[in-house]
A and B are shown apart, each in its own frame.
Chain A
Amino acid sequence: KAGVTQTPRYLIKTRGQQVTLSCSPISGHRSVSWYQQTPGQGLQFLFEYFSETQRNKGNFPGRFSGRQFSNSRSEMNVSTLELGDSALYLCASGRGSHEQYFGPGTRLTVT
């Protein structure tokens, strides 16, 4: 069974630009969550989607948004990038409750 895939794996952007990250969940998983990982803050929850609806949202500014498509694939968008947005962005899929399975992440560098 294929795991969670994320594209692109690496991204370099300039302050003020926007970026879109993509996540394909494990087949059959309808829940997709996004997390930001930085050395200082660790893993922090961004938001979770289930059947195309955002169920939960973390404490991040409105510049961070996402969506989920009918095939459960999800995208995350960050607008007006800031230097502090440099991080590893991780996508995880699951069946709603219980364990979540993570993808390899997208390493975003903002210069």
Chain B
Amino acid sequence: EDQVTQSPEALRLQEGESSSLNCSYTVSGLRGLFWYRQDPGKGPEFLFTLYSAGEEKEKERLKATLTKKESFLHITAPKPEDSATYLCAVQAGGGGSNYKLTFGKGTLLTVNP
């Protein structure tokens, strides 16, 4: 069964203090790994898709990286508006048409001014 574990569960940073969120996964053939951001009371907002080990994607202060067992979301010089829950999800490959996403429990990031 596909599994996704995110750490830490919660992270509190000062504005400008860079850090990383971790997503460890076990999946029978990875089709894709996805990062989402979720604000309270809203649906998840798509950030990145990573497909193979060594791949990196960047968007503003965020950078996602992927290895064969885990992914990191690096946040450089965060601002208070980066405060949100960050979700990691995997989509298993192996052929067929199973495109479901298996999510981790998320990391609640709080950035203090």
- B98 close to A42 (CB less than 8 A): no
Q: Which of B46, B91, B100, B104 contacts A101 (CB 8 A)?
A: B46
Residues facing B in A1-42 (CB within 8 A) are 4, 31, 33, 35, 42
Residues facing A in B32-78 (CB within 8 A) are 32, 34, 36, 41-46, 49
- A99 close to B44 (CB less than 8 A): no
Q: Which of B31, B87, B97 contacts A43 (CB 8 A)?
A: B87
A74 smallest CB distance to B (angstroms) = 15
Which applies to chain B's interface (DSSP): helix, strand, loop or mixed?
A: strand
Residues facing A in B75-112 (CB within 8 A) are 87, 89, 91, 97-106
Q: Which residues of A contact B41 (CB under 8 A)?
A: 107
Judge if A48 is at the interface, Cβ distance under 8 Å: yes
Q: Which residues of A contact B106 (CB under 8 A)?
A: 42
- B46 close to A55 (CB less than 8 A): no
B4 smallest CB distance to A (angstroms) = 9
Chain B positions within 8 Å of A, measured between CB atoms, are 31-32, 34, 36, 41-46, 49, 87, 89, 91, 97-106
Chain A positions within 8 Å of B, measured between CB atoms, are 4, 31, 33, 35, 42-45, 48, 50, 55-56, 58, 90, 92, 94, 96-105, 107
In the complex, besides A43-B101, A99-B32, 17 extra interface pairs with C-beta distance below 8 angstroms are: A33-B99, A33-B100, A42-B104, A43-B44, A43-B87, A44-B103, A48-B99, A55-B98, A56-B99, A90-B43, A94-B99, A97-B32, A97-B91, A100-B46, A100-B99, A100-B101, A104-B42
